[in-house]
Amino acid sequence: MSEQHLDEDLEEDELALYEHHRILVDKGQSSVRIDKFLTERIANATRNKVQQTIDSGGVQVNGHSVKSNYKIKGLDDIRVLLEKPPRDTEVISENISLDIVYEDTDLLVVNKPPGMVVHPAHGNWSGTLVNGLVYHFQHLPEMKGNVGRPGLVHRIDKDTSGLLVIAKTEETMAPLAAQFFYHTIQRTYLALVWGEPEAEEGTIVGHVGRSAKDRKVMDVFPDGSQGKHAITHWKVLKRLRYVSLVQCTLETGRTHQIRAHFKFLGHPLFNDAMYGGDKIRKGTQFAKYKSFINNCFDAMPRQALHAMSLGFVHPITKKNLYFEAPLPADFSVVLQKWEQYVQLD
């Protein structure tokens, strides 16, 4: 069980400068170095940053300071005071090629390639979609409380490909954001999942929130005890015996929603390392099959998820707009490999 909270007796300005974590180690936890353990547990914490925090006395175990090579034990009570990086709100403009699907004076729709981070953050201060946006488009607006992310009203994961809408003016930003908030945006994704769902279509309803075991992973809480309300509608487009191509329509847009929901359903996304999809989940352990799977993993070294379509009301013209992006090359190649494999098998 892991508990994360803010100590109430600290000054407000001190709270603003530090993240406070308290982790009670599971009784059955294996013995690992504390720097490795904390790097895996705390979102956006690098090994180097954790080691610096330990060296400066910012980590205590059972009330005592420790060294980076300390091996944690079950029921250890770990407290961490992690310095937040200075909030650098200036985004460096970079001449990054963008695949612009649509553009007018108020907004644009971009087809993001897999592997590109949407906005600058820990460990990714350059090479992001936003770095490219500020190069190609000056004076992009920023939402209040979203400094350093000009034009953004939503985002998709680094290794998810597909469509995003970007606001070019103040007048379009709030109305676009409102459409996401009130779930009136039409968003469909294509996912390749392990196995074959029993039904042809269905709806997954289950709160999505951070896992107590790993803060970078999202868990599903069907009883609604934690996390945020999340709904994913899905239907099978193609059954390929060992995997299935599924279309997902989001009613809500939580972090890792599709990835967490399909793991919960027992059909994790193909090659989704964070949610258990990077192992053989259906099929044999024969060398030939293993080799085929590894070739597919190499061809698409990411989760098989693509934001295929985006539909919304233009905030200024009030017209209904709808866009689709074809599958990127890596996804198409893997899908073709599976189609050929099941024909020959």
Q: Which residues are identified as catalytic?
A: 157
Return the closest-CA partner of residue 272 out of 296, 307, 240: 296
- What are 235-241's contacts with CB under 8 Å, separation 24+? 235/200, 235/201, 235/202, 236/196, 236/197, 236/200, 236/201, 237/190, 239/196, 240/338, 240/339, 240/341, 240/342, 241/196, 241/342, 241/345
